[in-house]
Amino acid sequence: MTVTWRSSASEALLDDAATVIPGGVNTCRRRSEPRRCFRRGAGAYLWDLEDRRYIDFHAAYGAVFLGHSHPAVTARVARAIEETVLFGVGVTEAEVALARKLVDHVPCADQVVVCNSGSEATYHAIRLARGATGRERIVKFQGCYNGFHDYVLRNVLSPAELVGGRDPQSKGMLEAAIDATSVCRFNDLDDVEATVARYPDEIAAIILEPIAHNAPGIMPRPGFLAGLRALCDREGIVLVFDEVITGFRHGLGGYQAIAGVTPDLTTLGKAIANGFPLAAVAGRRELMERFTTNEAGDVHFGGTYNGNAVAVEAGLATIELLEDGRVHEHVFALGERMRAGLAEIAARAGIAAYVGGYGSLFVLCFMDGPLERYEDVLRNDTALFLRYRRELVARGVFEMPESLGRSHIGASHTGDDVDRALEVAEVALAAALEAGARAA
């Protein structure tokens, strides 16, 4: 079957955009091949500029969980903004209602503050940990992404020669900030212990995605999260779970509720507001009260747009729609179906493959399992992965064509969408393998 790779309207728009926006896009990872722009989204689907329909598993990097432009969410936002957008003083009843919901649902949350992006949330959480402990060093994990700021923007998808080494992701980062962040191996408590021993009384925080979904789905080994908890308790280190992906998507209490391990602080974002810009820092009262939102606080917390009505109402509407548990039941079941189906397809194709993911997330990696350490990721056949993703896009299944990108199921996907995606996956994989064989 011949498929259309090109979207000439998308290409023209991106080319035009590049005259006024560097590279034509407003965040670096939106540049992808094949080049696509979308005009419209509804539920599980996107329509490109030629009005071709795609089943969307990109879901704006997982921010869209209930479906594009979910009517209950958009209607609530629209109603609210007739009278409220932003006052910039005091608090609104909606902000208090949202904070109550987060405190009720998230185990570590005695108190909560909201901001606008996951990067802001991790930035504030780390500064709070530093302020509260009087220490500077932090620990992150190879393969985890915790936001774009200098404290954490290192050692994400590192190439083999830089794994665990010094791998900042950008020019312009403060050298001191890079070096104040130690990088440990996910799932390796001994490595974390050794780092803590190397810097006695210097580590303010250990921050991690409790499931390393950016890598692209390394599950914590039994005992890993609890081991970190015990280590942090022993050493007076603030444990931060970055639940920007796992929070709300895996359950209202985040992965901490599922794992039964409660961090000191947690950062939330993405699925919390179904695509609207809402994020949060939540945690233990004695830490949270250090924020200067509190009169006696000494750790700055500010932001002109924090608590704006658009974000807050979207958050409230989203959380209310998740509260009866049916969405999570639905997406977990579809996730299982998708992962099992992909494993069967790979087995029929007779190739090395590992299907990762958890709950509503899935990723087909072209390598033998297991996926337990960042080093495992390096076995993935990146060229095949990208070819496969491009073949999917060309056939109307949108999974981001970028190395090791995870894919997302949401409330509006149906069993038929998953089955259709699996049919397409089988054809796309065959086409990708054939193209690879021709190129060899």
Ligand X SMILES: Cc1ncc(COP(=O)(O)O)c(C=O)c1O
- Residue whose C-alpha is closest to residue 109's, from 265, 341, 336: 265
Which backbone phi and psi does 163 adopt, to 5 degrees? -60, 125
Active-site annotation holder among 123, 270, 354, 358: 270
- Residue 125 or 433 with smaller CB distance to ligand X: 125
Token digits for 125? Answer: 């959480």
Active-site annotation holder among 242, 264, 376, 417: 242
Q: Quickly tell me which residue has 């504030």 as its tokens.
A: 124
Structural contact between residues 220 and 210, judged by C-beta atoms closer than 8 angstroms: yes
Structural contact between residues 140 and 203, judged by C-beta atoms closer than 8 angstroms: no
Specify whether 151 is catalytic.
Answer: no
Specify whether 270 is catalytic.
Answer: yes
- Residue 238 or 394 with smaller CB distance to ligand X: 238
Q: Quickly tell me which residue has 């909560």 as its tokens.
A: 112
**C-beta of 213: minimal distance to ligand X in Å?**
7
- Residue 116 or 262 with smaller CB distance to ligand X: 116
Token digits for 137? Answer: 């060093």
User: Hey, CA dihedral for 3, 6, 7, 10, is it positive or negative?
Assistant: positive
**C-beta of 335: minimal distance to ligand X in Å?**
18
Q: Which residues bind ligand X (CB under 6 A)?
A: 61, 117-119, 122, 145-147, 209, 214, 242, 244-245, 269
**C-beta of 277: minimal distance to ligand X in Å?**
8
| Number of Cβ within a 10 Å radius of residue 5 | 12
Identity at 64, one-letter amino acid code: V
Sheet of strand 407-408: strand arrangement: 354-356, 361-365, 407-408
**C-beta of 147: minimal distance to ligand X in Å?**
4
338-349 b/e (C-beta count within 10 Å ≥ 16 → b): bbebbeebbeee
**C-beta of 244: minimal distance to ligand X in Å?**
4
- Residue 119 or 306 with smaller CB distance to ligand X: 119
DSSP string, 374-438: HHHHTTS-HHHHHHHHHHHHHTTEE---STT--EE--TT--HHHHHHHHHHHHHHHHHHHHHHHH
Q: Which residue is nearest to ligand X (CB)?
A: 118
Q: Quickly tell me which residue has 């985040």 as its tokens.
A: 254
**C-beta of 378: minimal distance to ligand X in Å?**
20
- Residue 116 or 133 with smaller CB distance to ligand X: 116
Q: Which residues pair with 361 in a beta bridge?
A: 408
- Residue 32 or 117 with smaller CB distance to ligand X: 117
Active-site annotation holder among 45, 54, 123, 145: 145
Specify whether 242 is catalytic.
Answer: yes
Q: Where in the sequence numbering do the catalytic residues fall?
A: 145, 242, 270
